[in-house]
Structure 1
Amino acid sequence: MGKPTGFLEYKRENPTKRDPFERTKNWQEFQIIMPEASLRKQGSRCMDCGVPFCQTGTTMAGSGEIGCPVYNLIPEWNDLVYRGKWREALDRLHKTNNFPEFTGRVCPAPCEGSCTLAISDDAVSIKSIEYHIVERGFQEGWITPQPPKTRTGKKVAVVGSGPAGLAAAAQLNKAGHLVTVFEREDRIGGLLTYGIPDVKLANHIVERRVKLLEEEGILFKANMEVGKDITTAELDKEFDAVILCTGATKPRDVEVEGRELNGIHFAMDFLTANTKSLLNSNFQDQDYIDAKDKHVIVIGGGDTGTDCITTSVRHGAKSITQFDINKTKLEERPANNPWPMFPIVHTVDDGHKEAKAVYGNDPRAYQLMTTKFVGDENGNLKELHTISVETKIDENGQKTRHPIAGSEKVWPADLVLLAVGFTGPEEKIIQQLKLETDKRSNIKAEYGQYVTSVEGVYAAGDNRRGQSLVVWAIHEGREAARECDRYLMGASNLP
Structure 2
Amino acid sequence: MSTPTGFMEYSRQLPADREPAERIKDWEEFHKHLSEEELRTQGARCMDCGTPYCHTGIDMAGGTSGCPVNNLIPEWNNLIYRGLWSEALERLHKTNNFPEFTGRICPAPCEGSCTVGLIGQPVTIKTIEQAIIDKGFEEGWVVPNPPEKRTGKRVAVVGSGPAGLATAAQLNKAGHTVTVYERSDRIGGLLMYGIPSMKLEKDVVQRRVDLLAAEGIRFVTNTEIGKDISSEQLVDDYDAVVLCGGATKPREFNIEGSGLKGVHYAMTYLNGTIKSLLDSGLSDGQYISAEGKDVIVIGGGDTGSDCVATALRHGCSSVTQFGTHDMAPLERDPINNPWPQFPNVYTLDYAQEEAKALYGKDPREFSIMTTKFVGDEEGNLKELHTVQIRRIVDETGRKIYQPVPGTEKVFNAQMALIAIGFDGPEQTIVNQLGLETDRRSNVKAPYGKYQTNVDKVFAAGDMRRGQSLVVWAINEGRQAAREVDKYLMGSTVLV
Q: Same fold (TM over 0.5)?
A: yes
Deviations 1:348-372 (A, max 9, x none): 1000000111122110011111111
Matches within 5 A, 1:3-18: 3-18=3-18
Partner of 1:172: 171
Contact 2:290 2:315 in 1 (8 A): yes
Q: Does 1:252 align with 2:251?
A: yes
Deviations 1:225-278 (A, max 9, x none): 001111112212211000000000111122211111000000000000000000
Instruction: For 2:58 and 2:387, locate their aligned partners in 1 and report how far apart those are by CA, in whole Å.
Output: 38
Q: Does 1:379 align with 2:379?
A: yes
Instruction: For 1:395 and 1:455, locate their aligned partners in 2 and report how far apart those are by CA, in whole Å.
Output: 44
The Cα of 1:393 is off from its aligned counterpart by 2.7
Matches within 5 A, 1:38-437: 38-60=38-60, 62-334=61-333, 335-437=335-437
Task: Describe the SS at the equivalent of 1:406.
Answer: coil
Instruction: For 2:293 and 2:103, locate their aligned partners in 1 and report how far apart those are by CA, in whole Å.
Output: 33
The Cα of 1:396 is off from its aligned counterpart by 4.5
Partner of 1:468: 468
Aligned partner of 1:277: which letter? S
Partner of 1:482: 482
Instruction: For 2:225 and 2:386, locate their aligned partners in 1 and report how far apart those are by CA, in whole Å.
Output: 41
Aligned partner of 1:403: which letter? P
Task: Describe the SS at the equivalent of 1:188.
Answer: coil
Paired residues in the alignment total 494
Contact 1:243 1:459 in 2 (8 A): yes
Task: Describe the SS at the equivalent of 1:105.
Answer: helix
Contact 2:147 2:175 in 1 (8 A): yes
Root-mean-square deviation (CA, aligned residues, Å) is 0.9
Contact 1:329 1:346 in 2 (8 A): yes
Q: TM-score, normalised by structure 1?
A: 0.99
The Cα of 1:64 is off from its aligned counterpart by 3.6
The Cα of 1:397 is off from its aligned counterpart by 4.3
Contact 2:260 2:380 in 1 (8 A): yes
Task: Describe the SS at the equivalent of 2:387.
Answer: strand
Q: TM-score, normalised by structure 2?
A: 0.99
Instruction: For 1:12 and 1:367, locate their aligned partners in 2 and report how far apart those are by CA, in whole Å.
Output: 33
The Cα of 1:468 is off from its aligned counterpart by 0.2
Contact 1:296 1:320 in 2 (8 A): yes
Instruction: For 1:300 and 1:27, locate their aligned partners in 2 and report how far apart those are by CA, in whole Å.
Output: 22
Aligned partner of 1:106: which letter? I
The Cα of 1:133 is off from its aligned counterpart by 0.4
Contact 1:63 1:337 in 2 (8 A): no
Task: Describe the SS at the equivalent of 2:388.
Answer: strand
The Cα of 1:63 is off from its aligned counterpart by 4.9
Instruction: For 2:125 and 2:470, locate their aligned partners in 1 and report how far apart those are by CA, in whole Å.
Output: 17
Task: Describe the SS at the equivalent of 1:448.
Answer: coil
Contact 2:295 2:319 in 1 (8 A): yes
Instruction: For 1:463 and 1:118, locate their aligned partners in 2 and report how far apart those are by CA, in whole Å.
Output: 34
Partner of 2:29: 29
Instruction: For 1:107 and 1:187, locate their aligned partners in 2 and report how far apart those are by CA, in whole Å.
Output: 22
**Which 5+ residue runs of structure 2 have no aligned equivalent?**
none
Contact 1:245 1:461 in 2 (8 A): yes
Worse-matched range after superposition: 1-10 or 86-95: 1-10
The Cα of 1:391 is off from its aligned counterpart by 1.1
Instruction: State the percentage of identical aligned residues.
Output: 61
Task: Describe the SS at the equivalent of 1:423.
Answer: coil
Instruction: For 2:145 and 2:95, locate their aligned partners in 1 and report how far apart those are by CA, in whole Å.
Output: 16
Task: Describe the SS at the equivalent of 1:173.
Answer: helix
The Cα of 1:67 is off from its aligned counterpart by 0.5
Worse-matched range after superposition: 29-38 or 141-150: 29-38
The Cα of 1:65 is off from its aligned counterpart by 2.2
Q: Does 1:442 align with 2:442?
A: yes
Aligned partner of 2:475: which letter? H
Instruction: For 1:363 and 1:399, locate their aligned partners in 2 and report how far apart those are by CA, in whole Å.
Output: 26
Deviations 1:184-229 (A, max 9, x none): 0011000001110000001100000000000000000010100111
Task: Give the 4+ runs in structure 1 shifted more than 4 A.
Answer: none
Instruction: For 1:355 and 1:68, locate their aligned partners in 2 and report how far apart those are by CA, in whole Å.
Output: 30
**Which 5+ residue runs of structure 1 have no aligned equivalent?**
none
Task: Describe the SS at the equivalent of 1:416.
Answer: strand
Contact 2:235 2:457 in 1 (8 A): no
Instruction: For 1:491 and 1:374, locate their aligned partners in 2 and report how far apart those are by CA, in whole Å.
Output: 60
Contact 2:2 2:43 in 1 (8 A): no
Instruction: For 2:65 and 2:292, locate their aligned partners in 1 and report how far apart those are by CA, in whole Å.
Output: 43
Partner of 1:19: 19
Instruction: For 1:289 and 1:63, locate their aligned partners in 2 and report how far apart those are by CA, in whole Å.
Output: 34
Worse-matched range after superposition: 388-397 or 343-352: 388-397
The Cα of 1:105 is off from its aligned counterpart by 0.3
Contact 1:156 1:241 in 2 (8 A): yes
Instruction: For 1:177 and 1:246, locate their aligned partners in 2 and report how far apart those are by CA, in whole Å.
Output: 21
Contact 1:461 1:477 in 2 (8 A): yes
Task: Describe the SS at the equivalent of 2:481.
Answer: helix
The Cα of 1:455 is off from its aligned counterpart by 1.0
The Cα of 1:379 is off from its aligned counterpart by 0.4
Instruction: For 2:414 and 2:120, locate their aligned partners in 1 and report how far apart those are by CA, in whole Å.
Output: 44
